[in-house]
Amino acid sequence: MQIAHIRNKRYLYGRKIVALTAIVLCVCTQALGQAQKTKWVKRNNPNYDNRKITYGFLIGLHTTAYQIKYSEQFVTPAFDSLYAVSPLWSPGFSLGFIVNYRLEELWDLRLTPKVAFYEHKLRYEIIDPQDKTPDEVHTVETTMVEFPLLVKFKSERRENLRMYMIGGVKPAIEASGKKDLENVNTELEITGGNLSIDVGFGLDIYYPLFKFSPELRFSRGMVDILDNRANKYGVALDRVNTNTITLYLLFQ
């Protein structure tokens, strides 16, 4: 009744990761090449990293998908017609602010409150001997207010470049609140909050008037966000988590 499609999932996920990584590497390679050509130029903003607190804003472009675990009811005869529930990757974006606190030479503490717009899709694959029932793609749209609290570890600065790694926790709440009670049987119900672990890497590029940082970050949801397990979309599922890959463009 259930086939994991492991090869297909790895192929799709791999394409998303490779595409985002290629963008970041392209920007980094171009910046490094430019720095090698202009080593004689003085450092831009040489005292920028001596500031205790700095501010900025960010733009995030992400792709996201649910990770699901089937319920015990999924293997019962009642679900013989349901072949599988397959998460699909979907694009989205986020906007936010940056508050960066310098702990010491190579360590920063960073808060980046932001609003993120997500679209999660699940394909319910139906088995119909007469091929009259098509697969159903169910979409869950959410607007989340997120408060990532991150620790940033930086390399030594080389001319106008500095590599870094970053990680932390990301609590989030749904901006629109709970859905109407009249819709509980017509859509997949999720909770109004989430908690994720974020890890990533990036490159600080120093310009005369600001600092630009392309950053690639992976976010893994740590809590079960499935709310209603009784309606037709939730009864086959036991657990739902989030996976998100984001390319951030930070300006400080």
pLDDT-based confidence at 137, cuts 50/70/90?
Answer: confident
The whole-angstrom distance between residue 88's C-alpha and the CA centroid of its chain comes to 14
The whole-angstrom distance between residue 232's C-alpha and the CA centroid of its chain comes to 27
Q: Which residues of 177-214 are buried (b: 16+ CB within 10 A; e: fewer)?
A: eebeeeeeeebbbbebebebebebbbbbbbeeeebbbb
> What's residue 248's pLDDT?
98
- Predicted confidence (pLDDT) at residue 241 exceeds the cutoff of 70: yes
Identity of the residue numbered 58: L
pLDDT-based confidence at 133, cuts 50/70/90?
Answer: low
Looking at residues 145-174, what average pLDDT do you find? 95
> What's residue 9's pLDDT?
45
Q: Is the distance from CB of 100 to CB of 132 less than 8 angstroms?
A: no
String of DSSP letters for 84-117: EEEEE-EEEEEEEEEEEEEEETTEEEEE--EEEE
> What's residue 232's pLDDT?
79
Question: Which pair of tokens denotes residue 49?
Answer: 């990293």
For 104-122, write each residue's pLDDT tens digit. 999 999 999 999 999 999 9
> What's residue 54's pLDDT?
94
pLDDT-based confidence at 38, cuts 50/70/90?
Answer: very low
Looking at residues 123-131, what average pLDDT do you find? 73
Q: Give the contacts of 100 (CB within 8 A, at least 6 positions apart).
A: 53, 54, 55, 56, 108, 109, 110, 152, 252
Q: Give the contacts of 191 (CB within 8 A, at least 6 positions apart).
A: 225, 226, 227
> What's residue 111's pLDDT?
97
> What's residue 215's pLDDT?
98
Mean pLDDT of the residues in the chain: 83
- Predicted confidence (pLDDT) at residue 36 exceeds the cutoff of 70: no
> What's residue 19's pLDDT?
58
What DSSP element (H or E) covers 17? helix 6-37
pLDDT-based confidence at 10, cuts 50/70/90?
Answer: very low
Q: Which residues of 140-150 are buried (b: 16+ CB within 10 A; e: fewer)?
A: bebebebebeb
